[in-house]
Amino acid sequence: MSAQHLFQEEEMKVISVLNIKGGCAKTFTSANMAYELWRRNQTVLMLDNDKQGNLSRSYGMYDPHSIAPSARLISGSWKYPEELICPTRYHGIDLIPSNLSLSGAVWRLAGKTDLAGRYQKLLGKEGGLCPSYDYCIIDNPPDIGLNVINALAVSDEVIVPVKIDGYMMEGLDILAEQIEDARAWNPSLIFKGILITVYRNTDGEKAGLEWLQSRWASRTAGSSPVIGIIRYSRKVSENSFLDKPIYEYSPLCAAAQDYKNFVTAYTGTRR
């Protein structure tokens, strides 16, 4: 698939899914947003930017024994996109897989120069070698390491998944500062908004949602910072053993319908 993409008139939109707090469904959001975009006839490249490789696992493409394409990407040890980009079983969704070798590749960058430009060769707007896709979704780890800095350097937008609980604000202010700092080398980077995940309509979570809306409204010019709400569904934990998008496993469950509605609102196209 990846080698046969035709170049399109519009540039590929690069989206970083990011939160420095774990357990808020970053990978699940990346995997299912990619699938929902694909269902709307969009071509999608996914970059697994996390050494845990959970996005790779979710598409049945985790290989713990080799140097991962994500590690080769950040180290610069590649010449052609076909060395990094792997087709999934969905014709139109490709993946740059990851594993623990990414951690070693990031560690070996210490002390080197041009640390924010490692993904530019493949994904950069000017001179990037990546075949043309409609979207690139980058699933990031819960930290701000060199691999995340490189992701922000090539991203158009940042989506922040948040689970509403007593610790939800942990790291959010730091994350907002990091996004602002990233604009020093990527002035066009946009904070797209917060995606509420695993939401239960309890009094406590409703209060937390209202507080979050008011606290972060200043960062989105007074408009709502919340761009979608994904309800809790027990089908999600069942689906984690199956390496498939939630819509394929249980299309009528709350989470599947909410990701469908979120992507419809995000793109303006229905499926």
**CB neighbours of 205 closer than 8 A, spacing ≥ 6?**
164, 199
Domain at 2-193, CATH homologous superfamily:
P-loop containing nucleotide triphosphate hydrolases (3.40.50.300)
267 vs 265: CA distance, rounded Å? 6
Give CA–CA dist 271/269, Å, rounded: 7
Residue 207: predicted pLDDT: 93
Residues 200 and 221: their CA atoms lie apart, in Å, by: 27
* pLDDT tens-place string over residues 193-252: 999 999 999 999 999 999 888 877 766 665 789 999 999 999 999 998 888 999 999 999
Burial class (CB within 10 angstroms; exposed 0-12, middle 13-18, buried 19+) of 240 = middle
User: What is the tens place of the pLDDT at every residue in 133-168?
Assistant: 999 999 999 999 999 999 999 999 999 999 998 777
Q: Is the pLDDT of residue 256 over 70?
A: yes
Rounded Cα–Cα distance for residues 60 and 151 (Å) = 23
Q: How far is CA 32 from CA 55, 180, 239, 251, in A?
A: 10, 27, 12, 12
Least Cα distance to 90 among 247, 205, 209 occurs for 247
Mean pLDDT (whole number) for 256-268 = 95
Ramachandran quadrant class, 102 (left: phi over 0; alpha: psi -120 to 50; beta: rest): alpha
pLDDT of residue 4: 38
What residues does each domain of the chain span? 2-193
Q: What is the pLDDT of residues 73-123, one digit of tens each?
A: 999 999 999 999 999 999 999 999 999 999 999 999 887 777 889 999 999
* Residue 119 confidence (pLDDT): 96
Pairing of the two strands 226-231 and 135-139? unpaired
User: Is 68:86 a contact under the CB 8 Å cutoff?
Assistant: no
The long-range contacts involving 21-25, CB below 8 angstroms and separated by at least 24 positions, are 21/142, 21/167, 21/168, 21/170, 21/171, 21/172, 22/142, 23/163, 24/161, 24/162, 24/163, 24/197, 24/198, 25/161, 25/163, 25/197, 25/198, 25/230
Residue 8 binned pLDDT confidence (cut-offs 50, 70, 90): very low
Q: How confident is the model at residue 5 (pLDDT cuts 50, 70, 90)?
A: very low
* Phi, psi angles (nearest 5°) of residue 159: -110, 130
pLDDT for 27: 97
pLDDT of residue 220: 64
What does the DSSP 8-state code read for residue 180? H
Dist. CA 131–CA 113, nearest whole Å: 27
3-state secondary structure of 271: coil
Q: What pLDDT is attached to residue 157?
A: 97
